[in-house]
Structure 1
Amino acid sequence: MRGFLVACAALVLPACAAVADTPPAAAAADAGHAMLTVLTSADAETQLMALVLTKAAMAKGVTPQILLCSAAGDLALKSPPPEALAPLQPKGASPAGLLRSLKAEGVKVDVCAIYLPNRPFGAEALEDGIGVATPPDIASVFTAEGATVLSF
C-alpha cells in the first residue's frame, strides 16, 4: 500500500505543480468542462483524497461527476462502513461526509452498473440521490471533448 501511495504522489505532485503554473486565462478556458472521478479503492485515505481533488476542481469551475465502483461503492450506502465515516487529518473530514457534501452541492454521484447486482441488497440501500450509472451514460462523460478522468 505504501508503494501505491508513493506512486500516486509521484503522479499527483507534478500535476499540482502544473496547475499552479497554469496562467489564469488557461485555467478559465477549462471552466465548465466535464470531469469524471472514478473511485474504486477501499482505502479511506485514497477515497478522501479523490474527493478533495474533485472538490478543488469544482472550485476552479469544472463540472464533476463521481462514479463509485467496487469497494468504493459502499460510500454510497445509507449506512456506509465505519472506516468511511471516520474523520481523517488534517481537517477531520471523512470520505462519506465529503461525498454527501459534494452531492449536496449538485455533483452527480452514481454507483457502477455492476455494483448492485453483485451485492445482497438493491437500490433501496443507496443514499437518496445516488443513481446507478449505465455504461453509455458514463462513456458519454469520459469521451466528451476536453473531459478529464481521475481514477483512484
Structure 2
Amino acid sequence: MKKTFVALVLAAISSYSIATEKQQVTVSLTSASTMAQGMAMVLANQMQEQGAQVDILLCDKAGDIALKGAEGETLKPNNVTPAQLLDGALKKGATASVCALYLPNTGNKAEDLRDGIKPANPAEMGARLLEANRKVIGF
C-alpha cells in the first residue's frame, strides 16, 4: 500500500511538472511568399501569447526578413510586414536564427542580421528538433 501511494505521488508530481513546462515550438520558415511569412509570424506571436516558447528558423528567401533594414510588403488588416511581426515575437521572448546555409549562400554576414538573430548551429538545431516535447511547424 505504501509503495503504491508513493508511486502515485511521484506520478502526480511528474505529470504536474510536465504540464507546467512551456510548450516548445519551432517555426521553420522558408517561403518567399509575404502572406506565408506573415501567417507564420502571426501564429508564432499567438503561440507565445498562449504560453509557448517559440524558436524561429529562417532559411532561403524567408531569411531576408532577418536582415537589418528588411522592409517588405505590408499585410492587412494590421498593416504590418513579416519583419515587423518577427520583431514583435523577439520582443516577447522568441528566439530566431537563420539556417546555416543562408549567410554563405546569400553573401550576407552575421553582422547584417537584426539584433537577437544569429546563424543556427546545425548540431544544436538538430537536437532541438528531436526534443520530445517540441512541436515543429513548417511554412
TM-score, structure 2 as length reference: 0.81
1:46 to 30, 36, 46: 36
Deviation at 1:31, TM superposition (A): 5.6
Give the AA of the match of 1:78. K
Instruction: Write the distance in 2 (CA, Å) between the matches of 1:70 and 1:149.
Output: 18
CA pair 31-87 structure 1, distance change in 2 beyond 3 A: farther
2:27 alignment counterpart: 37
Aligned to 1:98: 85
Deviation for aligned residue 1:29:
3.6
Deviation at 1:78, TM superposition (A): 0.5
Aligned residue number for residue 116 of structure 2: 129
1:89 aligns with 2:76: yes
Residues 31, 61 of structure 1: 8 Å contact kept: no
Identity over aligned residues, as a percent? 37
Residue 76 in 1 paired to residue 66 in 2? yes
Local SS of the residue matching 2:56: strand
TM-score of the aligned structures, taking structure 1 as reference length? 0.75
> Runs (4+) of structure 1 moved beyond 6 Å?
none
Alpha-carbon deviations, 1:74-105, whole Å to 9, x = none? 0000022x4x2x32111212101010111112
Answer whether contact 2:48 2:92 (CA < 8 A) is retained. Answer: no
Contact 1:35 1:147 in 2 (8 A): yes
Query: Quick check: which has more Rg, 1 or 2?
Result: 2
Gaps of 5+ in 2: 1-17
Question: 3-state DSSP class of the match of 1:65?
Answer: strand
8 Å CA contact 1:112–1:132 kept in 2: the answer is yes
Which moves more between the two structures, 69-78 or 136-145? 136-145
Unaligned runs of 5+ in 1: 1-27
Q: SS in structure 2 opposite 1:73? A: helix
Q: What SS does the corresponding residue of 1:116 show, helix, strand or coil?
A: helix
Aligned length: 122
Distance 2:20 2:42 in 1: 19
Aligned amino acid, residue 64 of structure 1:
V
2:94 counterpart (107, 121, 131): 107
User: What is the aligned-residue RMSD (CA, Å)?
Assistant: 1.7
Mapping of 1:139-150 within 5 angstroms?
139-150=126-137
